[in-house]
């Protein structure tokens, strides 16, 4: 069985992770210390579930210098 992995950048706006599929829905609130591996998020706008990996630099405040 094959599994497709998409390593596209995730979009964050005002501390919210936007849907990786449609980009419209806010699917998860992020704090600077938020970390996740293989987290399933659901978008109420497009109805899609997506598995995401969140590292320490996803939140804009964690990467600010």
pLDDT digits (tens, 9 = 90+) for 15-45: 899 998 998 889 999 988 889 999 999 999 9
Q: Is the pTM of this model over 0.85?
A: no
Give the pLDDT of residue 1. 45
Gap between the Cα atoms of 54 and 43, Å rounded: 17
Are residues 28 and 19 in contact, defined by beta-carbon separation less than 8 angstroms? no
User: Mind giving me the DSSP string for 11-38?
Assistant: PEETTEEEPTTTS-SEEEE--TT--EEE
- Listed by start position, the domains of the chain span 13-63
């Amino acid at each position: 069985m094959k599994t497709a992995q998409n390593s596209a950048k995730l979009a964050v706006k005002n501390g919210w992770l936007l849907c990786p599929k449609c980009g419209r829905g806010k699917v998860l609130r992020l704090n600077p210390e938020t970390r996740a591996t293989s987290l399933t998020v659901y978008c109420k706008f497009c109805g899609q579930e997506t598995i995401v990996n969140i590292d320490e630099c996803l939140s804009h405040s964690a990467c600010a210098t």
